[in-house]
């Protein structure tokens, strides 16, 4: 079995059993993004303590790519310096998925929903 096939199975597993799927009560930052093209929705929550992301989670519905991306991205955010979050690039988020989505802009948009939610959350006062 090719490594991409194994990773695609991992994406399906994250969709069925997502990590960090919960609301953080008292989140310091949160935002919701909706993809009208496909109906996917991600609501991202961040708890920031002493300048670092203490906890990150999400609620949402959608395809395997958006849900797996949110699972992976929230794990990626934990422990990061809050002031550095604005420096995270879309490419870093896409690398978490480990599947080439460059030829599928619709799926790329799904994978970037949690990233877009983070940017929206950080832009709120």
pLDDT in tens, 78-109: 999 999 999 999 999 999 988 888 888 888 99
CA 71 – CA 12 distance, rounded (Å): 12
Find out whether 74 and 57 touch, Cβ atoms under 8 Å: yes
pTM, two decimals, is 0.91
Q: What's the pLDDT at 1? A: 45
CA 52 – CA 67 distance, rounded (Å): 24
Query: pLDDT tens digit string along 36-69?
Result: 888 999 999 999 999 999 999 999 999 999 999 9
Q: What's the pLDDT at 10? A: 84
| Greater model confidence, 32 or 2 | 32
Q: Are strands 29-34 and 52-61 parallel, antiparallel or unpaired?
A: unpaired
Domain assignment of residue 95, given as a range:
3-123
CB-count burial class (<10 Å; 0-12, 13-18, 19+) for 75:
middle
- 29 band by pLDDT with thresholds 50, 70 and 90: very high
Q: What's the pLDDT at 105? A: 84
Which phi and psi (to 5°) does residue 46 adopt?
Answer: -130, 135
Q: What's the pLDDT at 3? A: 46
Residues whose CB falls within 8 Å of the CB of residue 37, separated by 6 or more in sequence, listed in order: 106, 109
Domain count, the chain: 1
Q: What's the pLDDT at 5? A: 58
* In the block, residue with structure tokens 């069925």: 16
């Amino acid at each position: 079995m090719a490594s991409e096939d194994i990773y695609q199975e991992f994406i399906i597993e994250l969709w069925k059993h997502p990590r960090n799927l919960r609301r953080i009560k008292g989140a310091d930052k949160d935002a919701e993004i909706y993809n009208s093209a496909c109906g996917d929705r991600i609501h991202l929550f961040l708890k920031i303590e002493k300048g670092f992301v203490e906890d990150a989670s999400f609620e949402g519905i959608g395809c395997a790519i958006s849900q797996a991306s949110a699972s992976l991205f929230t794990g990626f955010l934990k422990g990061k310096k809050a002031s550095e979050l604005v420096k995270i690039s879309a490419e870093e988020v896409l690398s978490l998925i480990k599947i080439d989505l460059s030829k599928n802009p619709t799926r790329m948009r799904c994978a970037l929903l949690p990233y877009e939610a983070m940017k929206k959350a950080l832009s709120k006062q």
